[in-house]
Amino acid sequence: MISPNKIISSTFYNNLNLVLKSNKVKFFQLRLKKERKNRKVIIAKKILRICKKNKVKFIINDDPYLASKVNADGCHLGQKDMSIKKAKKILKKKIIGVTCHNSIKLAKKALLDGADYIALGAFYKSKTKKTIYKAHIKTLINIKMSTNLPVVAVGGINEKNYKNLLLNKADFLAISGYIWNNKKLKPQQAIKNLK
């Protein structure tokens, strides 16, 4: 699961706790692109406590230094972020995942570089993030056949389309908008719909 793009209200932390209590979330990624560094540290520390309480691994997006500073469980890197090798020097044995868009070539490179998991997507249209790369089920199947790395499916995932990704061997689903920006359901109700 991925955080909303902005965390303003303190009700977010209560909602996060309720969502993580569902036992359906194994990893929670903090993804704040437009937040000041010192504020990110404060937010990250609060989320880390909630993750630990619910036995959920906490991953920081884009920033191995922040992940190290708050003692998160790992870091997720985009293709334009620092290299996996450099991130490993900062984070030692912590989890490092990398975005591979829709590319078997990038997935194989991530495997060689020592990534712990790869993220593919966007599989569906997303309002959380601008869709530049479109991934298809065929890409997922091909990557699962050519690498043993866990694959996280990303992009526009909701209660109507998530099963198709799991049936086609996605190991994890990165869901954000369906949980945090759902106009019909509260976060804890939205997560319940994902059986």
CATH number, domain with residue 111: 3.20.20.70
Do the domain assignments include residue 6? no
Statement: residue 125 has pLDDT above 90: no
Q: Is the peptide bond before 174 cis (omega within 30 degrees of 0)?
A: no
Do the domain assignments include residue 75? yes
Q: What is the pLDDT of residue 133?
A: 82
Q: What is the pLDDT of residue 9?
A: 86
Amino acid found at 4: P
Take residue 23 and report the two structure tokens written for it: 């036992």
pTM of this prediction? 0.95
Do the domain assignments include residue 181? yes
Do the domain assignments include residue 104? yes
Do the domain assignments include residue 154? yes
The predicted model gives 120-143 an average pLDDT of 86
Domain of residue 139 covers: 11-192
Amino acid found at 38: N
The sign one gets for the Cα dihedral 147, 148, 154, 160 is positive
Do the domain assignments include residue 5? no
Take residue 6 and report the two structure tokens written for it: 């902005």
Statement: residue 131 has pLDDT above 70: no
How many angstroms separate the CA atoms of 64 and 52, rounded?
Answer: 19
Do the domain assignments include residue 144? yes
Quote the number of domains for the chain.
1
- What's the whole-number average pLDDT of the chain? 95
Q: Over the stretch 43-62, which tens digit does the pLDDT of each residue have?
A: 999 999 999 999 999 999 99
